[in-house]
Amino acid sequence: MTTRPVDLIKTEAEQRAHIHIIVDLIHVLEYLWRAAWCLHDTGDASAEAWVARHARTLLAGGVQQTAAALKAAARAARLRGTKRKGIDDAVNYLTSKAEHLRYDTALGRGWPIATGIIERACRHLAKDRLDITGARWGLSGAEAVLKLRAVRANGDFDTYWAWHEQQEFIRNHPARYRDRLIPTA
């Protein structure tokens, strides 16, 4: 049995604070475009307006409304079999992922709905440091560097460093430096 990425995320979420999963809008738009080409000829300019209209409905929280409109459009066009595959795939995708397509909620809370910002953060935090010529990383070393880069990027380095020094002191020096007084040389 293959474990789906969303199931892995949910498993991790159960062990942490509550998280919200939002499917990248760009991925959803790819499905809408495939559906559009079932109804429009290649290069038809009206396909763009069709996709935009359904995208606005999705952004407003109308996942079921969009799925129903796609089905109705396929029926109205009397599409059958492979001629309606793009629409069927889009409808199945929308209905199966509906709980993760709450763009209205995400936008209302100021959350990103596309991965551009996340991909940029991954590039800034990980790729720019780990993917340099000659670099050889083990998992624990890479994780340590990435955690430190994330702390710096978030502006939390000073707070982290004070905590880190306190932890080092506790771990290494409680017997030597009683009452937290460090002897002078």
| Region 27-34 average pLDDT | 96
Under the banding of pLDDT at 50, 70 and 90, the label for residue 120 is confident
Share of the chain above pLDDT 90, in %: 51
In the block, tokens 């969009």 appear at 66
Domain ranges of the chain: 20-108, 121-180
Q: Is 35 exposed, middle or buried (0-12, 13-18, 19+ CB in 10 A)?
A: buried
129-178 per-position pLDDT tens digit: 788 888 888 888 888 888 888 888 889 999 999 998 888 888 777 666 66
pLDDT at residue 81, as a whole number: 92
pLDDT at residue 178, as a whole number: 63
How far CA 95 is from CA of 45, 48, 58, 65, 179, in Å, comes to: 27, 22, 12, 10, 63
Give the pTM. 0.61
